[in-house]
Amino acid sequence: MCLAIPAKVVELRDADLAVIDLGGVRKEISLALVEDVRPGDFVIVHVGYALQKVDPEEAEKTLALFAGLDAPARETA
């Protein structure tokens, strides 16, 4: 399920709140479900809450996978 979208944290506010920016649209969301988030980090946002940070290295690896650059690379969890 779940409409969730990756967005960039641009400002931290009190009480576990933060402002995220997605394509120029800013919204206040809650960071109560994640830890150690800093401005510049990307988080996955769902119904007004950040669920998880986006790992930039893993994102790059995944994009490389799409391009077939890692030959049949198998990432077992």
Partner 1 sequence: MKYVDEFRDGELAKGIAARIAIEADPSRTYHFMEFCGGHTHAISRYGVKDLLPASVVMVHGPGCPVCVLPIGRIDMAIELAIREQAILCTYADTMRVPASGGLSLMKAKAKGADIRMVYSASDALRIAQENPGREVVFLAIGFETTTPPTALVVKQAAALGLANFSVFCNHVLTPAAISHILESPEVRELGTVKIDGFVGPAHVSTIIGSQPYDYFAEEYAKPVVIAGFEPLDVMQAILMLVRQVNEGRAEVENEFSRAVTADGNAKAKALVAEIFELRRAFEWRGLGRVPYSALRLKDEWAAFDAERRFDMPERSVPDNKACECGAILRGVKKPTDCKVFGTACTPETPMGSCMVSSEGACAAHYTYGRFRNAA
Partner 2 sequence: MSTVRTGYVRPLDVKRGLVDMSHGSGGRAMAQLIDELFLAAFDNEWLREMNDQARVPMPAGRLVIATDSHVVSPLFFPGGDIGCLSVHGTINDVAMAGAKPLYLTSGFILEEGYPLADLKRIVESMAAAAREAGVPIVTGDTKVVEQGKGDGVFINTTGVGVVLEGVDVSGAHARPGDAILVSGTLGDHGVAIMSLRENLTFETTIRSDTASLHTLVAAMVEAVPGIRTLRDPTRGGLATTLNEIARQSKAGMTIREAAIPVRPEVSAACEFLGLDPLYVANEGKLVAICGPGDAARLLAAMRAHPQGRDSAIIGEVVADANHFVQMETGFGGRRMVDWLAGEQLPRIC
Question: What's the closest the beta carbon of residue 2 comes to partner 2, in angstroms?
Answer: 5
43 close to 50: Cβ distance less than 8 angstroms: yes
Task: Dihedral sign for Cα 67, 24, 26, 1, please.
Answer: negative
Give residues in contact with partner 2 (CB under 8 A).
Answer: 1-3, 5, 22-28, 45-47
Compare residues 28 and 60 and give the one whose CB is closer to partner 2: 28
How far is residue 41's CA from residue 35's CA, in Å, rounded to a whole number? Answer: 12
Tokens of 63: 């994009």
Binding site for partner 1 (CB under 8 A): 1-6, 8, 22-23, 30, 32-35, 42, 44, 46-49, 51-56, 58-59, 61-63, 65-68, 72, 74-77
